[in-house]
């Protein structure tokens, strides 16, 4: 049961395009969701399979005509896949305007990519204002109207509440897995752990929840077993490719937790189910986000959250997976690194989907391991 469920999730994480085509062939419409903080719940409530668009390892051939080379590789890869037809077959794409690079990506889709259509929306950064939640709810309602106008699929309050329950249940399952995996690194190595989280972006949440619950139950039936003494937590927008996780495994690192949006951090806060207005509940979910490079805070909380997690998981080091040319994250990085290094050995790895830099990363990881062992 454990191996079968893991294999299914690893296959999905490895071949998301195949997963998308399988849903479409089964008559299930699929909609793309460009990260971060895209309201997947609304897409689900409208009757579509939300499908995360996280770029990918690809050579840029077309996007250079629209997206500058100093934009992050996630945005450049998304633009490339839109331009070369990889995303064709999606009913639509929704995209948050959280940085200048995403704004350029949306404009590229509007000008040069007609299939699928892109539906942008804005999220407020000054989230302490009383009007912030109301503005966010207004943006979500406008997005719902765009989806209905484009596809004819309305989003009822009842459907929203059902989807919120499904997503909260999925988040609970992912948090339970995260804790169990940290104590069973003999079974859940860095690559398998990443596959469980990554596959969630490419599967219907009900199906994914069931598979993750199977894995967690199987782990809990086993005695705890820590494979390596070198335990690390990760932080960043994305922890990169499966090949990077293999490098960490080869050098004897156990990944026991993360503050990574593509992995477990997105599941930290549940969406409120007690509000009469489910759209406002979704809006408040954005308001309470903390520790994110794309969500403004007067006092940055990410370093403290990462260090707290490292202490809880008995990790001896932190790895910052820094998305190359990501303006929000690179702006935050110097202060965050200074705070992290005061308390914990910290390694920075550049994440670049458009460059084959694995050997450089290997050298940095090996050197870091030598420093920890000295």
Report, as an integer, the average pLDDT of 20-47: 96
The pLDDT of residue 290 is above 80 = yes
Q: Tell me which residue of 166, 96, 94, 93 sits closest to 136, measured CA to CA.
A: 96
pLDDT at 75: 94
The first and second tokens of residue 182, run together, are 């940290």
Q: Tell me which residue of 79, 89, 83, 77 sits closest to 51, measured CA to CA.
A: 89
**Mean pLDDT over all residues of the chain?**
94
Measured distance CA(201)–CA(13) in Å, rounded: 9
The pLDDT of residue 143 is above 90 = yes
The pLDDT of residue 341 is above 90 = yes
Measured distance CA(153)–CA(132) in Å, rounded: 27
Helices 73-83 and 100-112, packing angle to 10 deg: 10
What residues does 317 pair with on adjacent strands?
232
CA distances from 318 to 82, 218, 266, 368 (A): 34, 28, 19, 11
pTM of the model: 0.95
- Taking the alpha carbons of 309, 336, 302, 239 in that order, is the dihedral positive or negative? negative
> Could you give the domains of the chain?
23-158 (3.40.50.11890)
Omega of the bond prior to 116 within 30 degrees of 0, cis?
yes
User: How confident is the model over 83-116, as pLDDT tens digits?
Assistant: 999 999 999 999 999 999 999 999 999 999 989 9
Q: In what order do the strands lie in the sheet with 30-33?
A: 49-52, 30-33, 93-97, 118-122
Report, as an integer, the average pLDDT of 193-197: 97
- Taking the alpha carbons of 97, 272, 203, 184 in that order, is the dihedral positive or negative? positive
Report, as an integer, the average pLDDT of 70-91: 94
User: How confident is the model over 291-309, as pLDDT tens digits?
Assistant: 888 888 888 899 999 999 9
The pLDDT of residue 49 is above 80 = yes
Instruction: Say what percent of the chain tops pLDDT 90.
Output: 87
Q: What is the CA radius of gyration of the chain?
A: 20
Q: pLDDT band at 374, cuts 50/70/90?
A: confident
Report, as an integer, the average pLDDT of 166-188: 97
Report, as an integer, the average pLDDT of 202-219: 97
pLDDT at 332: 92
């Amino acid at each position: 049961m454990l191996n079968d469920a893991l294999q299914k999730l690893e296959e999905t994480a490895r071949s998301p395009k195949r997963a998308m085509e399988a849903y479409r062939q089964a008559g299930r419409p699929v909609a793309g969701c460009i990260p971060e903080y895209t309201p997947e719940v609304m897409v689900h409530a409208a009757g579509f399979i939300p499908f995360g668009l996280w770029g990918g390892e690809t050579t840029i051939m077309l996007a250079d005509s629209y997206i500058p080379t100093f934009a992050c590789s996630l945005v450049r890869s998304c633009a490339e896949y839109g331009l070369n037809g990889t995303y064709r077959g999606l009913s639509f794409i929704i995209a948050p305007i959280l940085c200048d690079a995403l704004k350029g990506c949306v404009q590229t889709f509007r000008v040069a990519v007609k299939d699928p259509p892109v539906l942008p929306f804005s999220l407020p950064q000054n989230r302490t204002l009383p009007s912030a939640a109301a503005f966010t709810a207004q943006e979500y309602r406008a997005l719902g109207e765009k989806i209905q106008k484009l596809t004819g699929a309305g989003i009822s309050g009842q459907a929203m509440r059902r989807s919120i329950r499904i997503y909260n249940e999925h988040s609970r399952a992912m948090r339970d897995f995260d804790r169990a995996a940290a104590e069973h690194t003999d079974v859940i190595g860095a690559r398998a752990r990443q596959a469980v989280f990554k596959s969630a972006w490419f599967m219907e949440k009900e199906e994914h929840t069931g598979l993750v619950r199977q894995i967690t139950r199987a782990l809990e039936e086993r005695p705890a077993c820590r494979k390596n003494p070198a335990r690390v937590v990760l932080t960043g927008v994305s922890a990169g490719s499966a090949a990077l996780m293999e490098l960490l495994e080869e050098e004897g690192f156990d990944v026991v937790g993360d503050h990574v949006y593509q992995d477990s951090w997105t599941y930290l806060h549940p969406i409120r189910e007690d509000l009469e207005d489910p759209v406002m509940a979704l809006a408040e979910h954005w308001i309470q986000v903390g520790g994110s490079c794309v969500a403004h805070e007067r006092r940055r909380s990410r370093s403290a959250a990462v260090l707290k997690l490292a202490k809880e998981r008995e990790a001896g080091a932190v790895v910052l997976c820094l998305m190359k040319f990501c303006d929000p994250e690179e702006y935050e990085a110097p202060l965050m690194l200074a705070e992290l290094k005061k308390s914990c050995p910290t390694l920075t790895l550049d994440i670049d989907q458009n460059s084959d830099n694995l050997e450089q990363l290997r050298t940095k990881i090996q050197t870091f391991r030598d420093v920890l062992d000295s």
